[in-house]
Amino acid sequence: PAKSSSSSDKTGGGSKQITLGFSQVGSESGWRAANTQSVKEAAKAAGINLKFSDAQQKQENQISAIRSYIAQKVDVISFSPVVVTGWDTVLKEAKAAGIPVILTDRSVETSDPSLYVTLVGSDFEIEGERAAHMLEKVLAGHTGPVKIAQLEGTTGAAPAIERAKGFAKIMKASHPEWSIIASQTGDFTRAGGKQVMAAFLQAHSDIDVLFSHNDDMAIGAIQSIQAAGKTPGKDIKIVSVDGVHDGFVAMSKGQINGIVECNPLLGPQLMDAVKTVHAGKGSTLPRWIKTQETDYTADQAAAALPSRKY
Binds ligand AHR (CB under 6 A): choice among 75, 125, 129, 242: 242
Q: Could you say whether residue 161 binds ligand AHR (CB under 6 A)?
A: no
Q: Which is nearer to ligand AHR, 146 or 266 (CB)?
A: 266
Q: How far is CA 268 from the centre of its chain?
A: 17
Q: Which is nearer to ligand AHR, 82 or 146 (CB)?
A: 82
Q: Could you say whether residue 241 binds ligand AHR (CB under 6 A)?
A: yes
Q: Could you say whether residue 247 binds ligand AHR (CB under 6 A)?
A: no
For the CB of residue 17, give the shortest distance to ligand AHR in the complex, in Å: 29
Sheet strand arrangement including 237-242: 178-185, 146-152, 209-212, 237-242, 258-261, 295-297
Q: Which stretch binds ligand AHR (CB under 6 A): 28-36, 170-178, 203-211, 280-288?
A: 28-36
Q: Which is nearer to ligand AHR, 126 or 228 (CB)?
A: 126
| The pairing of beta strand 258-261 with beta strand 76-79 | unpaired
* Those residues with Cβ within 8 angstroms of residue 48's Cβ, 6 or more apart along the chain or in another chain: 17, 18, 19, 20, 271, 274, 275
State which H helix or E strand residue 102 sits in: strand 101-104
Binds ligand AHR (CB under 6 A): choice among 31, 52, 87, 116: 31
* Residue list 104-143, contact with ligand AHR (CB under 6 A): 105-106
Binds ligand AHR (CB under 6 A): choice among 19, 32, 212, 248: 32
Q: Could you say whether residue 250 binds ligand AHR (CB under 6 A)?
A: no
Please state the φ and ψ torsions of residue 184, each to the nearest 5 degrees: -155, 155
For the CB of residue 283, give the shortest distance to ligand AHR in the complex, in Å: 26
* Residue list 162-201, contact with ligand AHR (CB under 6 A): 188
Q: Which stretch binds ligand AHR (CB under 6 A): 25-33, 66-74, 267-275, 287-295?
A: 25-33
For the CB of residue 26, give the shortest distance to ligand AHR in the complex, in Å: 8
Instruction: Assign 290 to helix, strand or coil.
Output: coil
Residue 187 CA to residue 155 CA, distance in Å, equals 7
Instruction: Assign 6 to helix, strand or coil.
Output: strand
State which H helix or E strand residue 115 sits in: none
Instruction: Assign 169 to helix, strand or coil.
Output: helix
Q: Could you say whether residue 28 binds ligand AHR (CB under 6 A)?
A: yes
Contact 14/271 with Cβ under 8 angstroms? no
Q: Which residues bind ligand AHR (CB under 6 A)?
A: 28-29, 31-32, 105-106, 159, 188, 214, 216, 241-242, 262
